[in-house]
Structure 1
Amino acid sequence: MAGPVYVDGAEPGDSLKVTLLDFSPSGWAWTAIVPGFGLLADDFPEAALNIWHYDKDWGKAAAMSDFARVPLKPFCGTTGVARAEPGGHSTIPPYNTGGNMDIRDLTLGVDLYLPVQVPGALFSIGDPHCAQGDGEVCGTAIESPMGVTARLDLVKDENLKFPRFETAGPVSRHLDGAGYDVTTGIGPDLMEASQNAVRGMIERLAKTKGLNADQAYMLCSVCADLRISEIVDQPNWVVSCYMPNIVFN
């Protein structure tokens, strides 16, 4: 984590505009299952670790093993400014000032706007990822040390309640090339539906690709996308888990 950075002139009610300009890759990364952490923490009580090595050319894929290769899309999982509330604050949960949001589309060229709550904003950035699925379900992505270049601009009196961001064009769909295998979870609780969608994908990867449960869970975390497919037909909601076929090509 780098920061906090004092931004001269930033006051509560302003927004801090963050534009990511460059990532300098290290060539290695890791993904882990941490006991007591993640969407399926009760299902995976034991630790597991996968070490990745990847080409420093972002156009190349990161090899997990013989069974999967994940295209890279670097971003920072944690980008935020200080909260107005006094005291210490964990960097694990996100807040209305940003922080550990783990939004994988906050990548090169995106403009992120953070609500300033304290004088100077006190900007911090870190937790760089090479790639991640929407949801980061096991609790970690393809975590990699790297250098990051960002530009900070101040927007006066925007009075944001929560972070927002803008893309310069279509969001890069780096996983779309070969279609998707999709499982669902359905029920009155979004968290439980999400868990069941991922459990279904883990079972499917074991059956169709020969992955063990730890491998399948970590692969879901680094490239599968959780989506709310339906949230209006009460009492049951639908969550879908999209696994990109391109990682097996």
Structure 2
Amino acid sequence: MSHRHHRHTLHAHQHHHGWNNANPPALRVAPGESVVFETVDSSGGQLSPTSTLDTLRALDFSRVNPVTGPVHVDGAEPGDALAVHIEHFAPSGWGWTANIPGFGLLADQFPDPALHLWQYDAGTLAPAAFGRLARVPLKPFAGTIGLAPAEPGPHSVVPPRRVGGNLDIRDLGAGTTLILPVEVAGALFSVGDTHAAQGDGEVCGTAIESPMTVALRFELLKGAAPRFPRLELPGPVTRHLDSRGYDVTTGIGPDLHGCARDAVSGMIELLVARHGMQPVEAYMLCSVAGDLRVSEIVDVPNMVVSLYLPRVLFD
């Protein structure tokens, strides 16, 4: 009997904070089965479509980045790989982006909280308006997706790790397969932190944070654990953004982190001068739609990081 079309559902209340291999499974499945996960946004439900800056100021960080799960996959053992086939997203139609004091690539330059609330068409996923300033093409994906680590927990969900977690790889969209190394019996898979759009780098620390439902199918690859997560993508990754070309700023120097900061700062200055944006608005737009790239890392001592911002945002 095939389990391939047997679909389970995990509801949003079946979530946990932090990675811990002692968490009891919320569900047990056989390899080949699919699960529909209802996720909570990365604020843990603290922000809503009517939130204000006061809501953001009062954020309880012990409740951020909840993940739905864990799912025990029958037969999964340390040394195996779990292939997670991302099948489908059902977005909610709303989301938020924020500058959270003390968090983000340019936290020292942006000490004050800022919040942008998004409304978008969950059916058509038409580009979402960033006020009157820009329109951001959408591409739903799961920011946090991973397995319980072997080391006893709890462990924060904020940093990514070998078994996945808060990867924030914007190409973890529908059609992609994510292959994760199993470190504990049953793998203990969880997912959350869903985004309607994000640029590579997620430079201000938040994307379009948006609760949604995601359907995943699990496949077990015995003895095939990769050293770190790897992805298999079904097609082009920037086609929804590249039709009008890009503006690109760079940072050059001996420190990759410093180069990234300079590239982002350069784009903020360009957006402020060209479009009359507030600097923090430009910073948040870079986070949801700009792509940081390591352009050169061999010409010692200096490296080059580039920020690519799609011109389609302003059409």
Give the TM bin, normalised by the shorter chain.
Answer: over 0.9
AA matched with 1:220 = C
| Partner SS for 2:272 | helix
Checking the alignment, whether the CA contact within 8 Å between 2:180 and 2:225 is kept in structure 1 is no
| 2:223 equivalent in structure 1 | 157
Whole-angstrom distance in 1 between the partners of 2:115 and 2:85: 32
- Equivalent residue in structure 1 for 2:112, among 38, 46, 50: 46
- Number of the residue aligned with 2:185: 119
1:197 matched residue in structure 2? 263
Q: Contact conserved, 1:58 with 1:72, CA < 8 A, in 2?
A: no
Give 1:59 shift: 4.2
1:115 positional shift: 0.2
CA distance in 2, matches of 1:50, 1:199: 20
Give the SS at the match of 1:222. helix
Structure having the higher strand fraction is 1
- Residues 133-152 of structure 1 aligned to structure 2 (within 5 Å): 133-152=199-218
Q: 1:218 aligns with which of 267, 284, 298?
A: 284
**Aligned counterparts of 1:173 and 1:84: Cα–Cα separation in 2:** 38
Is the 1:231–1:238 contact (alpha carbons within 8 Å) kept by the matching residues of 2?
yes
Q: How many residues matched?
A: 249
**2:184 alignment partner, SS class:** coil
State the Cα distance separating 1:170 from its structure 2 match.
2.8
Rounded to whole Å, the distance in 1 between the matches of 2:179 and 2:78 is: 14
Q: Runs of at least 4 residues of structure 1 off by over 6 A?
A: none
Confirm or deny that 1:57 pairs with 2:123.
yes
Report 1:103-118 matches (<5 A): 103-118=169-184
Q: 1:14-36 CA distances to partner (integer Å, 9 max, x unpaired)?
A: 01110111111111100000000
Secondary structure in structure 2 of the residue aligned to 1:12: coil
Task: Name the aligned partner's letter for residue 209 of structure 2.
Answer: E
Q: Report the CA distance between 1:168 and its aligned residue.
A: 2.2
Structure index of larger Rg: 2
* Unmatched runs of 5 consecutive residues or more in structure 1: none
Task: Establish whether residue 34 from structure 1 lines up as the match of residue 134 from structure 2.
Answer: no
What amino acid does structure 2 have at the position aligned with 1:146? M
Say if 2:263 and 2:307, in contact at 8 Å, map to a contact too: yes
**Equivalent residue for 2:244, pick from 178, 186, 190:** 178
**How far is 1:171 from its partner?**
2.7
Q: Structure 2 CA distance, aligned partners of 1:73 and 1:168?
A: 14
| CA–CA separation in structure 2 for the residues paired with 1:127 and 1:220 | 19
Question: What's the Cα RMSD here?
Answer: 0.8
* CA distance, structure 1, for counterparts of residue 150 and residue 163 of structure 2: 9
**For 1:232-247, what aligned pairs fall within 5 Å after superposition?**
232-247=298-313
Q: Distance in 2 between matches of 1:56 and 1:168?
A: 22
> Does residue 167 of the first structure (1) align with residue 167 of the second (2)?
no
Unaligned runs of at least 5 residues, structure 2: 1-66
Give the alignment's TM-score, normalised by structure 2. 0.78
**Equivalent in the alignment of 1:129:** 195
1:193-229 Cα distance to aligned partner (Å, 9 max, x none) = 0000000000000000110011000000000000000
Residues 1:12 and 2:59 aligned together = no
The equivalent of 1:92 in structure 2 is 158
Higher relative contact order (CA 8 A, sep 6+): 1
SS in 1 for 2:87: strand
Return the letter of the residue paired with 1:207: A
Verify: 1:73 aligned to 2:167, yes or no: no
For normalisation by structure 1, the TM-score amounts to 0.98
